[in-house]
Amino acid sequence: MTGLFGHFHLLKPFMASISGKLRDIDGWLRNRLRYCIWTDWKKPERKRKNLISLGADQHHAYVWSRTRKGGWAIAQSPILGTTVTLKRLQQRGYESMLEYYVKVAPQLNEPPYARPAWPALT
């Protein structure tokens, strides 16, 4: 990810829209992680047990574990959105790209008028 932000560092004049783009990428990435988790569970019974352990009620866990929808549709469904939450993903090591960007490049996040136009000569 460092290379990606290095690329955006070269595009300083266009930085105003980077936070929106990173939010969009984060949303897609979270859905992709949910998809990977769902496909990793493989069998319907394992899906049901894992959904129950993540807080879904038994009826919804049974219905969603045996759905015929594809993995990508399930990744965007309410059942995975409420069980595989952002907080749980962060506990497992997921770091938002926007948070990482703010941490790595804080000087790019301040407005241009907050910095001196020319460095002070001493």
- The DSSP string of 44-105 is HHHHHHHHHHTT--HHHHHHHHT--S-HHHHHTSHHHHHHS-HHHHHHTT---HHHHHHHH-
**36 C-beta neighbours (distance < 10 Å), count:** 11
- Range with top average pLDDT, 13-27, 58-72, 101-115: 58-72
Asked if the structure places residue 84 within a domain, the reply is yes
Task: Tell me which residue range forms the domain holding 64.
Answer: 2-6+26-110
Domain count, the chain: 1
Asked if the structure places residue 66 within a domain, the reply is yes
Asked if the structure places residue 15 within a domain, the reply is no
Asked if the structure places residue 19 within a domain, the reply is no
Q: What is the pLDDT, as a whole number, of residue 37?
A: 95
CA 35 – CA 74 distance, rounded (Å): 7
Asked if the model's pLDDT at residue 5 lies above 90, the reply is no
pTM for this predicted structure? 0.71
Q: What is the pLDDT of residues 14-58, one digit of tens each?
A: 555 677 888 899 999 999 999 999 999 999 999 999 999 999 999
CA 61 – CA 55 distance, rounded (Å): 9
Q: What is the pLDDT of residues 79-98, one digit of tens each?
A: 999 999 989 999 999 998 88
